[in-house]
Amino acid sequence: MLSIKDLQAKVEDKDILKGLNIEVKPGEIHAIMGPNGSGKSTTGYVLSGREGYEVTGGSITLDGKDLLELEAEERAREGLFLAFQYPVEIPGVSNLEFLKASVDAVREHNGLEPYSTVDFMKLAREKCKSVNLDQAFLKRGVNEGFSGGEKKRNEILQMMLLEPKVCILDETDSGLDIDALQVVAEGVNALRSEERSFIVVTHYQRLLDYIVPDYVHVLADGKIVKSGGKELALELEEKGYGWIEEEVA
Amino acid sequence: MTDQVDAYLEKDYAAGFTTDVESETLPPGLNEDVIRFISQKKGEPEWLLDWRLKAFNVWKEMSDPNWAQVNYPEINFQDVSYYSAPKSMEDKPKSLDEVDPELLETYEKLGIPLHEQAALAGVAVDAVFDSVSVATTFREKLAEAGVIFMPISEAVHEHPELVKKYLGSVVPQKDNFYSALNCAVFSDGSFVYIPKGVRCPMELSTYFRINEAKTGQFERTLIVADEGSHVSYLEGCTAPMRDENQLHAAVVELVALDNAEIKYSTVQNWYPGDKDGNGGIYNFVTKRGVCHTNAKISWTQVETGSAVTWKYPSCVLKGDNSVGEFYSVALTNNFQQADTGTKMIHLGKNTKSTIISKGISAGKSDQSYRGLVRMNPGAEGARNFTQCDSLLIGDKCGAHTFPYVESKNPSAVIEHEATTSKVSDDQMFLCQQRGIDPEKAISMIVNGFCREVFKELPMEFAVEAGKLLEVSLEGSVG
């Protein structure tokens, strides 16, 4: 499904990713863990095609399609979703308007008609309920004045509406209390299916108690230095990252 | 994102065509004979000619104001033609059937059909082409309600007592350089009178079109809302794309008598010049309204056009409890410059004013908000709230804010809030990551920024204004 081979990338002339390899099959959950500055957030941005993140080598394909040839918005329409660590506010643009523009863009890409406003309202209200957000929330500006938890739930809401193939969660747990974390995790778990894969980028093991991964990869200095099952995350929690860095060195 | 922004701001100016009609155009130049010619063309009474000549003498003593934050080469006022009218208008067509089809087609193309059956329901239009009014729709229907809506050149003959009483009563001849010039050479514009207690049954609008090259347009609008009446008025403006700059110096006067309300909306889309800054309209406009007791004047403007804009729609809150409002969206792109804002002069007790200004700068454009809030000694309990927000797109544009606040009454309350923000990389990336293309993203972000002002526009025009912003922004992302 998502195939990342020998990916190298730099930001402002600094090499960040130095040969990343991950193979994600349909339905799998992969966790990428690593110390600060190891390239975790960069991985999410490079995969989703953010400007300023220059790929200098390697390949990324989604269902055989070369993602590196596509603009960020085209990758999104192909089914790649990035849930942000710090979702940004867009004042004055209502959540509903934003969500509809987003969903319609993806539908158009898939040869479907845009939703009528009424139908979309219904759908959005329904999804709001499932992530425990008040409907009034649809009328508010995108992330405008939202609490940290609301912002993250809004990300999950978007994920539910867009039904992507691959979801990348970029340190979704940061800034969340345990209740908010559970709501987010429930949302993600509800979206798990045999066709949909997740890449969960996180510094702490905590999130993985709720979203249980099939594989755990340790990223250090722009490379995967160790891979394993979910027990690797527990080991990391216990011992920190130092021993791996030593082991690799 | 800068590259994206740069490339997105290029767009054809849809109203940039010229109409090929034979016109009678005065050769460039300004002197007493020119003024006499214009006055004679309109068959004006002696008092009006004298008024014009007096203004001309005042103007000659004044100089072009230079305090605004705009730069343009000195204007040679002898290079401008002060009168141009389609020849077919010479015989004063009595009905639309007699109007040159070329002219009607021009307005059709601009989306303003003048045939009443095709016209936007509920909107009466006065169409001004260069120096003359071509047609005014729904006049009879309005007359039934007692509403007078006609070219000012006709009102001079048909309602001389009203025109004489109010012309220059809000903006005196010597108010400023361009208002004095306008008084001397104004050629046409709209006149509106709403009788006591009448709520005008339709939206009124005037559509200004400059067509002829090297011609200035100097229109004059006068709206009088008698006691307890209500009117909503909208003006629109476009001009062909030409390489040289053209001058537009209008004066708008509003009089809201006791308990009356005037809502005045502008969608200004004069030709802004090309992307290298050649051509475009110089839009130097004086707009002011006076509010008597309990009256209200609300200015809403969407300014996307013109090479240089210099404009401060203002309210003199003369009567107790009167209300002034100013809602503005100004967008500048490429090399456009705008220095715009408002003046709220509080004279009466418990007067209230609200100023919401949204400035969007893109490309290499430069924009300033300039606003004055003055509380006179008599303005007991007066209040003002000002909110002034600037949005920058890209990193080559500028935004400036010049608020002037003068309070001579200790009980008056003045609040001022200002913000400057950028369309950020994070916002753009969020939109793109959700599948939204950059052009749509910019337009969505900008429309969101302007929401508070757009909701003040009459419904039909709010949609129009949103689209206009989208068009004006095109090429700001690349």
Distance CA A125, CA A130 (A): 9
B432 contacts in A (CB within 8 Å)? 49, 71-73, 76
Tell me, what's the pLDDT at B6? 47
Residue A50 reports pLDDT greater than 90: yes
Q: Is A72 an 8 Å CB contact of chain B? A: yes
Give the count of domains, chain B.
1
Residue B204 reports pLDDT greater than 50: yes
CB contact at 8 A, A158 and A166: no
Tell me, what's the pLDDT at B7? 45
Instruction: For residue B181, give its domain range.
Output: 24-421
A&B contacts, CB < 8 Å? 79
Tell me, what's the pLDDT at A119? 93
Q: Is position B3 within any domain?
A: no
Count of helix runs (H) and strand runs (E) in chain B? 11, 23
Distance CA A238, CA A232 (A): 10
A89 contacts in B (CB within 8 Å)? 427
Question: B143: which DSSP letter?
Answer: H
Considering only CA atoms, which of B405, B256, B283 is closest in space to residue B342? B405
Distance CA B122, CA B225 (A): 19
pLDDT in tens, B389-405: 999 988 888 899 999 99
Place of tokens 């523009």: A101
CB contact at 8 A, B242 and B271: yes
CA distance A100 to chain B (A): 10
B451 contacts in A (CB within 8 Å)? 92
* pLDDT band (50, 70, 90) for residue B460: low
pLDDT in tens, A192-231: 999 999 999 988 888 898 999 999 999 988 999 889 998 8
Cβ distance of A50 and B427 shorter than 8 Å: no
Q: Is A233 an 8 Å CB contact of chain B? A: no
CA distance B233 to chain A (A): 27
Residues 124-183 (A) with a CB less than 8 A from some CB of B: 141-142, 158, 162
CA distance A142 to chain B (A): 10
pLDDT in tens, B76-89: 888 888 888 777 77
Q: Is position B472 within any domain?
A: no
Q: Is A48 an 8 Å CB contact of chain B? A: yes
A42 contacts in B (CB within 8 Å)? none
Could you tell me the CATH number of the domain that includes residue A141? 3.40.50.300
Angle (CA) B43 B48 B53, round 5°: 110
Tell me, what's the pLDDT at B184? 93
pLDDT in tens, B38-56: 999 889 999 999 999 999 9
Tell me, what's the pLDDT at B11? 53
Instruction: Show which residues on chain B lie within 8 Å of chain A, measured between beta carbons.
Output: 1, 4, 424-427, 429-438, 440, 444-445, 447-452
Q: Is position B181 within any domain?
A: yes
Considering only CA atoms, which of B425, B436, B434, B462 is closest in space to residue B447? B462
In sequence order, what are the beta bridge partners of B126? B136, B206
CA distance B437 to chain A (A): 6
ipTM, interface predicted TM-score of the complex: 0.94
Selecting from B424, B426, B432 the residue whose C-beta is nearest the C-beta of A73 gives B432
**Letter string b/e over residues B259-287, b meaning 16 or more CB atoms within 10 A of that residue's CB:** bbbbbbbbbbbbbbbbeebebbbbbbbbb
- Interface test with chain A among B329, B426, B431, B470, by most A beta carbons within 10 Å: B431
Place of tokens 């002197």: B31
pLDDT in tens, B88-110: 776 666 677 777 777 777 777 76
Cβ distance of A92 and B452 shorter than 8 Å: yes
CA distance A187 to chain B (A): 18
Q: Is position B447 within any domain?
A: no
CA distance A148 to chain B (A): 16
- DSSP letter string, A183-246: HHHHHHHHH--SS-EEEEEESSSHHHHHS--SEEEEEETTEEEEEE-THHHHHHHHH-SHHHHH
Q: Is A82 an 8 Å CB contact of chain B? A: yes
Cβ distance of A105 and B450 shorter than 8 Å: no
A146 CB neighbour count, 10 Å cutoff: 19
Cβ distance of B425 and A109 shorter than 8 Å: no
Give the count of domains, chain A.
1
Q: Is position B396 within any domain?
A: yes
Instruction: For residue A41, give its domain range.
Output: 2-248
Distance CA B15, CA A70 (A): 36
A93 contacts in B (CB within 8 Å)? 444-445, 447-448
Cβ distance of B448 and A90 shorter than 8 Å: yes
Would residue A232 be called left, alpha or beta, if left means φ above 0 and alpha means ψ between -120 and 50 degrees? alpha
Across B185-206, average pLDDT: 91
Distance CA B366, CA B308 (A): 10
Tokens of B424: 């950020």
Angle (CA) A23 A27 A31, round 5°: 55
* pLDDT band (50, 70, 90) for residue B12: low
Cβ distance of A105 and B444 shorter than 8 Å: no
CA distance A232 to chain B (A): 31
CB contact at 8 A, B15 and B269: yes
pTM of the model: 0.83
Selecting from A72, A88, A92 the residue whose C-beta is nearest the C-beta of B432 gives A72
pLDDT in tens, B421-439: 888 889 999 999 999 999 8
Across B260-264, average pLDDT: 96
CA distance A245 to chain B (A): 33
- Interface test with chain B among A70, A93, A167, by most B beta carbons within 10 Å: A93
